[in-house]
Each structure stands twice: as C-alpha cells, then as structure tokens.
Amino acid sequence: MSVKKCIYCLKTEPQVTFNKAEHILIQSFGKFENNIVLNRGVYGVCDSCNQFFGNTIDRVLARDTFEGIIRFKENITESKKYKSEGQRSLLRIKGVEGFFEGSLVYPRYDEENDEVRMFLLPDQIGIKRIDNGKYDFFSIEELPDIKDIPKTYYDENGKVEFFYDFYDESIMTKIKEKGYRIERDYPIQELDLFDSKNILFEFERKIDDTIGRAVSKIAFNYLCYDLGVNYVCSETFNNIRNFIYKAEGNVEDFVQIEDMKLLKIEKELNISLLGHLVGYEFVGDKIYGVISLFNTIKYRVLLCNKFGTLPSTSSKGHFFDTKNMLTKEISKKDSREIPKMFNLYL
Ligand SMILES: [Zn+2]
C-alpha cells in the first residue's frame, strides 16, 4: 500500500487523515466518469490541506477566471450555481463589439433565461450618441458634468439618453450632483454571453499568486499521481510545494503562460479537443507541468529545477474530455497517432 503522506504539509497518518478523495483537477471543471484522484490507491493530500485549498485557491480558480466562466458556456456547471467573487474579483471583462463596446461588464446568473450573462458594471453608465446611435460608456467618476457634455449627445428635444444597470441611491446622487435630472428608467438590455453574432468580450485576468498556486497544484498533484508520494516528497520539490502550500515565492518564477489557438488544429485533425489537459514533461534537468483548461490558456509550471532519479517516461499527460466526460491517458501510442496534439501540449 502506498504511504499515507501529504505532499503539501508533509504530515503522515495518524497526524492527519486521508478520507476525502483529492481530485487532481478540481471537480468544478467537470465530474468525469473515470476521474483521476489521490487518496484512492495513491495517497498524497490530507483532508485538512484538501479543505484549505478548496476554500482558497481552488475557489478563485473556479470563479474568477476566464476558464471559470467557460464552465457555464460549456454546461459543465449549471448556470444557477454561478457564484462571483464580488468585490474581490480581479476579472476584468470589456465589451469589444456591439452594444457593450467600450464598457466594463460582469457575469451574473440571469434567472429569466436560466443563463449566465453579461451585465454592465454598476459603476458604468452609457450615453447615447445622436450621430451613430451607439453608446459611449463612462464610469460614474468620469461622467462629464451636464454643462460640459458635447452636443453629439443631445436629441432634438434637448434630452440625453442614458443606459445603466444599478439601483444604488449613492450612484444616483452622484449623477444628480453632475447636474443631470433623471426622468425615467430605460429597460436593461441583455445580451448572450459569448454570442459572437451579438458581441465580443475581452477578458483580462492577472495571473497572480492565487491562480498560479491553483494551477501549480493541479500539476503537482498529477506528478504525485503518476510518480508517487515518495518521489514528490523529496526536497527537490520544496520550492513548488511551499509556493502552493504557503504562497512562498513569486508566481513569475513558477508559472508561464502561452495562449492556445486550437480551433484550427481541431479541424485539421478531425478530433475533438474540447476538454482539459494535465501533464508534465522533463526538459534537461527541469520538470514542467503543463495545464490547459478548455484548451484555452496554456500554463507551464516549473515543478523543479534539478531532479534526482530519472523516471522512465519523459512526458505524460491526461486528457479530460468534457464532451463525453471521460479521462484518457495520453500514451506514447496516442502520441504517434496524433503527434500534433501531443507536441502542442507537452
Ligand atoms: Zn496536508
């Protein structure tokens, strides 16, 4: 039987328990039929570390990232379960085309349509231009005083049309202080999340320590799953362990980002690449983890600088098929069959 030791706090049974299964890839990104986990055969993450990560870094990865929003688009998670990080959110979403062009928006569960949709941020206000019928968006602070507002906003009746989505008295007060008199509310316009026919959104999310640690944990869990607890408990891995567990060090020293544009490749190979990839590779004397959720952003995680014993494989991965909800090991055989895919990821 595998040794019951936690690869993060380095405690062993009975000091800590190993009752809960630790999902290599957190379940928010899919409940797979043949999912790969720790503590069922191969141990590795104690119950208290499991809970600690779940309440902190895992939560942010699931809620406050581009990939976290795609979960709802791909029906991995029911829309009504959508939860935002609220004021703590570091996700910045900007309208690029269509009605919301130039505005800042946020995702919210829309009960009426049972969907997660984009809504204008409460501190944003749109003013309709008379020349082209489009709205220019301002934050409440940037909103010009009524006396400074250009003629391009006035209609033939000398009125200005606003678009906003808030019910906050303090914001209304600020608008009134700038000399505006609100005559009536306009209906809120709702547009489909990611519906490119209507609108295009741009996502910006700083890969901070929290996201970096969450992604690194997936990679490090996977290395443990494949090479065993003893292997990853060696002090060779102390830097990545302490980064994940204690937030020691800087994210830039561990995590690199590459954008993936895989749609074209999917067509060329005629295979579905809808899903996640988790893997690792040995390059020179370094070990890197490779993570991609929904085949969007590719994260490369430096797991160790100098490894000791050379394992027999030099790279390995698992594909999490979110269409059929199955996991599949990417073996050497697959790498010959679909070399492009393998090379791209690992
Ligand atoms: Zn632990």
> Can you tell me the distance from the alpha carbon of 119 to that of 109, in angstroms, rounded to the nearest whole number?
10
**238 CA to centre of ligand 1 in angstroms:** 14
**51 CA to centre of ligand 1 in angstroms:** 9
**53 CA to centre of ligand 1 in angstroms:** 10
> Can you tell me the distance from the alpha carbon of 15 to that of 1, in angstroms, rounded to the nearest whole number?
18
**344 CA to centre of ligand 1 in angstroms:** 33
**253 CA to centre of ligand 1 in angstroms:** 23
**274 CA to centre of ligand 1 in angstroms:** 33
**12 CA to centre of ligand 1 in angstroms:** 8
CA angle at residue 302 from 291 to 17, to 5 degrees?
75
Q: Which long-range contacts (CB under 8 A, 24 or more apart) does 25-28 make?
A: 25/218, 25/276, 25/278, 25/320, 26/54, 26/58, 26/61, 26/62, 26/214, 26/218, 28/58, 28/61, 28/62, 28/68, 28/71, 28/76, 28/77
**16 CA to centre of ligand 1 in angstroms:** 7
**48 CA to centre of ligand 1 in angstroms:** 6
Strand-pair partners of 104? 94
Q: At what angle do helices 209-227 and 238-246 cross, to 10 degrees?
A: 130
**5 CA to centre of ligand 1 in angstroms:** 8
What does the pLDDT profile of the chain (346 residues) look like in tens digits? 578 999 999 999 999 999 999 999 999 999 999 999 999 988 999 999 999 999 999 999 999 998 998 898 888 999 999 998 888 999 998 888 778 889 998 998 989 888 888 888 888 988 989 988 889 999 988 999 988 988 889 888 888 888 887 767 787 888 889 988 877 655 445 544 444 445 678 888 888 999 999 999 999 999 999 999 999 999 999 999 999 999 999 999 999 987 544 433 444 444 445 789 999 988 878 899 999 998 778 899 999 987 666 655 577 899 999 989 999 888 654 443 333 333 333 2
Residues lining ligand 1 (ion), CB within 5 A? 6, 8-9, 46, 49
Query: What is the tens place of the pLDDT at every residue in 139-198?
Result: 988 999 988 988 889 888 888 888 887 767 787 888 889 988 877 655 445 544 444 445
Mean pLDDT taken over the chain: 84
